[in-house]
Each structure stands twice: as structure tokens, then as C-alpha cells.
Structure 1
Amino acid sequence: MMRIFCRLLLIIIPLTISLNAEAQDHMYSQFFNSPIYLNPALTGQFQGDLRMNLIYRNQYTSVPGSLNYLSGSIDYNVPQFGGGLGLLFTRSAEGTAYLNKNNLAGTYSYSVGSEEYVLSFGLQAGITNRSVDYGKLVFSDQIDPRLGYIPGTGTAADPPLFNNKFYFDAGAGVNFTTGNFNLGAAAQHLNRPDESFTGVPAKLAIRATMHASYRLNLTWDDNLDDEDKPYVIPSVVVYRQSQTQAISAGLQYKRRSINVGAWYRTGGPAGPNAFVISLIFDLFINKEGGEKMRFGLSHDVPKGGLNYTNTSGTTEGSVGYETTLPSRVNAEHKFIGARRCYDFY
């Protein structure tokens, strides 16, 4: 199975090597709290039966023209095939011209494996709507040499053919877990949809993601339950889209219901590097029934280029809910005893 997984990685990752496009997807610092956005193969990969996640990113708070991103998902664990079904909604709002993008996608995952390893495959398909308010744009003939821009001034610029566009979008991913090691990869926009408003083709570049984590037990006291043991979990996430590449590397300290993380992210040509700190709390509502809430908060401090003084950094907030359905209490789950991807976050 490892040979099959390596072949899949070789197929997914190089797809972006020779692609060129200006549009870039946003990335979340709390990638572990937006699992389906990270990789559709993580659909249904959790301990309970039903999971809901919501994450919001406010980027460069004090820079004119808002950069806001939101993703909400719900997925259902289907124990018979070790995977699940999910629904993902993602919205981005960028700039004073309100360049908005809304995507609604369905996801599916299926797993094979044993007590020694679990290999999951995921598919994603959905519809994206992209729109812009041209009335908010300012052109050169609207700027007076002495007075600057005067609101209400007309322009001779020809408006593009469209200000609203729908297109089909597809993605896929794989995830492999064995022992204390987790490795995954995903590719989005596999069909390279045309985002153009003008009629001149503007193909959206494929976004490739690769993520890896290792779980290090800090105590060997066998008298402690697994959830009571302290862990350090180093992780790395690599994003590549067109000529832009970003790497996020760091670690988390996890014990019981508290998770503290520190990361360093390279921004590449698209933005500055940044230090990231995160704090995650798990609140167990009904621990025996597998019901819990998760609250997450992270903050990015840019380094170089756009610095903290003129951006105020980037803040993310997330909330998650997970529960076990009464009708599924005695359901038979596959790969009992095997380490799963959710053990790392």
C-alpha cells in the first residue's frame, strides 16, 4: 500500500509545476481546524459520527480593502468504509471592489488498511460563483492631478463583459497514517476552471497541498490513558499554486483538552513570512457520549515586507462540534486500534 500511496503523491504534487496564473487561494494558519478544506481525504476521519467546523480569517486588519475568508463544513462518519460524506462552503471577500468568491462542494472519502495503517482517498466536486463590483473601482481618468479622486466622477473605461461567473470545480486527495506518522496530499481545481470576466481565458491554477505530522509521546507511563499523556506534534504543510509556494512548519504541545502551537510560514512571492501562534481548547460536553466543542484562536505576525506596524497582522478564529448519534453507539468501526489522522490534532 505504501508503494500505491507514493505513486499517488507523484501524480498529485507535480501537477502544478508548469502552471501559470495570477489568482491564488487563501490558506488557513489553523489548517488542522479546517480539515476538509485542507484535504478532502479527511472527510469523516474523526472519532464521532457527525462533525461541524467553522473558521474565519481576517487578514491584514489595518490594510485598506478587507481580506476576509470563511469556511464552514459538515461531515458524517460512515464506519462501514472508514470514511465519510461531507459538505464544504468557502467564501472569500477581497478588496474595496468586493471581489467575492463563494464555493459549495460535496466531499467523499474511503479508507483501506488494518490495525497497522490506514490509507484514505478523497474526492471533491462543487460549484463556484465569482463576482466583482466594478462601481467600486477607480480608473486613471477619474483622478484629478490636484484634487485626487473625486467620488462620482465618470470614466471612459469600457466595463468588462461580465461581473458574475459560475464554474464547476473539482479536487482530490489522499492521506496515510501509520504508527506515529501522518502524511497527506491534495490537489484542487483539477479541471482548471476559467475565472475570466472579460472573455479572455484566465485558467485557475491547480493548488497542490502536502502535509506531514509526527506524534512524539513525552512520557512512557503506561498507567496514564492515551488522552492524558502529553505530546509534541511537529508538522509541516507545503502549498504550491502556479509559481507561488508557501511552507508552514512548527509544532504543537497537546495534553488533554489544551493544544498550544507555534509556527513559521514562508510567504513566497505572494506575501511576507510570518510567525504564527495558536491556542486550542476542547470542551467535552458529554465525554462518554463522544460530544465535544473545540475553540481555536491564532494570530500571524508578518516578518519583512508588510510588517506588523502597517498591517496589524492576521487573526483567525475557529469553532468545531463533534458528537456521536444515539443510533450509532454500537456501530462497527473499521481499523479498530489503528492510529488515525485526528490523533495528531
Structure 2
Amino acid sequence: MKLSKILTIVFCSLLMHFAADAQDHLYSQFFNSPVYLNPALNGQFEGDLRMNLIYRNQWTSVPGSLNYLTASVDYNIPRFGGGLGLLFTRSSEGTAYLKKNNIAGIYSYSVGSDNFVLSFGLQAGITNRSIDYGNLIFGDQIDPRLGYMPGSGSSADLPQFNNRYYFDSGAGINLVAGNFMIGGALQHINRPNESFTGSPARLPMRVTGHLSYRWDLDVYSNTDEDDHSYVIPSVVIYKQSQAQSVNAGLEYKRRSVSAGLWYRSGGQSGPSAIVVSLTFDLNISREGGEKVRFGLSHDAPSSKLNYGNTSGTTEGSLSYQTTLPNRAYIDRRFDGAKRCYDFY
């Protein structure tokens, strides 16, 4: 049997195992997908309207694609003390095209003073999960001498369903105090049943915790803060069922350019990785709060799966934010406090 066919079959088996464990995908550029990281970060930006897009192509040379995309739109409403947002997430995994699409609405609310800002977020949406069994290869389709026989049928018993919808919910909290930011989120609070077989298969809750510090390297400079240099170390911890991952590292930020170096532990869920990231900000109109951000990162596996077998993982992100021309209300409640966007 050709090596590529063997790899495909093995990878399908691994994929079905991972699907049974129901682990969410994680982004290396968590700072460029803040609403996916924590719904409490919804509406937390300078301006009125923000749009984010991030795409992840994981282990590009492994048979069976692993592609993930998240898009979000959030609207800052100072008069209501919070924001409204819409989040769309899509994943496609493996040769059987195990797909998951989720669309969710988010509401966030903030309280605080000149010294701190405390934000809360609620998320609720609908998820569709589907799989194409026609692309799977079973044992009775493999000839001992010739290998896989295209077009051959299988007598394997297929699961009862190949398509499922369910309600999903999440919540988050975030605190910015001085140069520290700490937050946490819970996803899949209602633990929806995503089984294809008819037997219950509850999606485990995903717990996220994150901590960042903003170190001003030019604290005694008389220049504008936007012209300062910063080092921003961060730690993000994910836990879902038995899977746990820690992403730790730092960004060096100078004006409109940020460079990051990160280490992500895979735990029992997968290989560890070294991550390099670059982010570029283009201020179209500083007074109008109009800005475009582009981010790029690459993961190099550091254990279990080597780089030569996987070609690593690449992410790209794009963000746009602006202030609407008819803005009638300006939020002055937290003028002296830093916000989460100061860290990202």
C-alpha cells in the first residue's frame, strides 16, 4: 500500500479519536482574535465599530486538512456601558470533512473608574456539526495486495446521523488594573450533545484564563504614549476535559509594529510548539480612530510531531476598526484607566 494511503487511514483514525474527545481549536494569535478568546473583550476598543478575521492552517503537510476561521463584528455602545457583537467560527478537519459552524451573539458590559475597568460578557449561539462518511476508508475497502480500491463499497455500520444542530453558550470576565490585565472565560456552559450516533456525547466546557502585563520601556519620556516602546508578557491557559494547553511568551511593541515569541505546551492534547508572530498597525486616521491591523504567525512543533512531517502551522489575521461619523456620545467614565486594547 502506498505510504500516502497509509497516512490517510491513520490520520482518519486519529481524527475520529480527537472528534470523540471534542476539543476546540486554539489560536496562536489570541491577541488578534480577542472576542474568541473571551466574550468580555467584546466592544473593548477605541472607536465604534471593529471587524476581526483570523485563519489557521494547521499541520499543512499532514494528509487531511485542518483549517479554522473566525470572524467577528463588535459595536461599542458607551451609552449602554457595553457593546454588542456577532461571532462566526468555522472548522474543517480531516479527509471526512468534519465541519463545525457556529454563529453567536455577544453582549458585554463594563464598570470601573479612573483606576480600573471590569468587563463582563455573555455569549449565546447555534452550532451545526456535520461529517461526510463517503470520504472515509474502512478495512473491507482495502485489498491485502493492492491496497485501497477506489469506488469500492463498505459494509461498515455508519452512525445514525451526519448532521446536527445544537444551542451553545459562554461567558467571560476581564479586569484591567494599572498595567495588569487578567481575565477568564467559560465556553459550552450548557454542555451540548453533539453526537452523531444517538448516544449522548456531551461537549466538555472549555476554561480559558489569561494574564498580561504592560511594561513601558520609555516611562520617563515626554513623548506621546503611542511613540513609546513596550514589552508585553502574557500567559494563556486552556483546559477542556483532559486536554490542557499553556501559551506563554511576550510581544515587543514599537509604534505600529509588534513582534512576539511564544511557547505553547501541548499537554496530552498534542505537540508543543514555538510560535513567532508579527503584527502591523496602519493608522488611516488617528483622529477618527480608523485603523487596519494585519498579523502573521507560524508554529514550529517542538515535540511529538516534528517540523519535517507537518510543515508547521500558519495563521493570518486582519482587523479593521473605525469611529462612525455621527457619533453622539463619548465615554468619559474610564479616561484615566487603561483598557484591554492597550495590551493588544
Coarse TM-score class (shorter-chain normalised): over 0.9
Cα shift readout 1:109-166 (whole Å, capped 9, x = no counterpart):
0011101111101000000000000000111111111111101111111221110000
Given that 1:81 and 1:111 are in contact with CA atoms closer than 8 Å, whether structure 2 keeps it comes out as no
Supply the distance in 1 between the matched residues of 2:89 and 2:219 (Cα, whole angstroms). 42
Supply the distance in 2 between the matched residues of 1:192 and 1:308 (Cα, whole angstroms). 35
Cα shift readout 1:68-93 (whole Å, capped 9, x = no counterpart):
00000000001124421000000000
> Are residue 109 (structure 1) and residue 108 (structure 2) matched?
yes
Matched residue type, 2:143: D
Cα shift readout 1:208-254 (whole Å, capped 9, x = no counterpart):
00000000011233411111110000000000000010000000001
Q: 1:344 maps to what in 2? A: 343
Matched residue type, 1:137: L
Supply the distance in 2 between the matched residues of 1:142 and 1:56 (Cα, whole angstroms). 35
Matched residue type, 1:340: R
> Are residue 252 (structure 1) and residue 236 (structure 2) matched?
no
Matched residue type, 2:300: V
TM-score when normalising by structure 2? 0.93
Q: 2:262 maps to what in 1? A: 263
Given that 1:120 and 1:174 are in contact with CA atoms closer than 8 Å, whether structure 2 keeps it comes out as yes
Deviation at residue 59 of structure 1 after TM alignment? 0.2
Supply the distance in 1 between the matched residues of 2:333 and 2:133 (Cα, whole angstroms). 53
Residues 125-164 of structure 1: matches in 2 within 5 Å?
125-164=124-163
Matched residue type, 1:127: I
> Are residue 313 (structure 1) and residue 316 (structure 2) matched?
no
RMSD: 1.0
Matched residue type, 1:144: D
Supply the distance in 2 between the matched residues of 1:271 and 1:332 (Cα, whole angstroms). 44
Gaps of 5+ in 1: 1-20
Q: 1:95 maps to what in 2? A: 94
> Are residue 304 (structure 1) and residue 311 (structure 2) matched?
no
Cα shift readout 1:94-123 (whole Å, capped 9, x = no counterpart):
000000000000001001110111110100
Given that 1:161 and 1:197 are in contact with CA atoms closer than 8 Å, whether structure 2 keeps it comes out as yes
Q: 1:47 maps to what in 2? A: 46
Supply the distance in 2 between the matched residues of 1:229 and 1:29 (Cα, whole angstroms). 25
> Are residue 34 (structure 1) and residue 28 (structure 2) matched?
no
Match of 2:121, SS state, is strand
Matched residue type, 2:271: P
Gaps of 5+ in 2: 1-19
Supply the distance in 2 between the matched residues of 1:168 and 1:330 (Cα, whole angstroms). 35
Supply the distance in 2 between the matched residues of 1:334 and 1:162 (Cα, whole angstroms). 52
Matched residue type, 1:221: Y
Deviation at residue 304 of structure 1 after TM alignment? 1.4
Q: 2:15 maps to what in 1? A: none
Matched residue type, 1:60: W
Matched residue type, 1:343: D
Residues 124-203 of structure 1: matches in 2 within 5 Å?
124-203=123-202
Supply the distance in 1 between the matched residues of 2:74 and 2:46 (Cα, whole angstroms). 12
Q: Which aligned segments of 4 or more residues in structure 1 are displaced greater than 4 angstroms?
A: none
Given that 1:80 and 1:333 are in contact with CA atoms closer than 8 Å, whether structure 2 keeps it comes out as no
Supply the distance in 2 between the matched residues of 1:104 and 1:231 (Cα, whole angstroms). 35
Matched residue type, 1:232: V
Q: 2:78 maps to what in 1? A: 79
Q: 1:220 maps to what in 2? A: 219
Deviation at residue 258 of structure 1 after TM alignment? 0.5
Matched residue type, 2:181: N
Deviation at residue 330 of structure 1 after TM alignment? 5.1
- Answer with 328-337 or 137-146: which moved more: 328-337
Supply the distance in 2 between the matched residues of 1:239 and 1:255 (Cα, whole angstroms). 29
Supply the distance in 2 between the matched residues of 1:62 and 1:330 (Cα, whole angstroms). 51
Matched residue type, 1:83: G
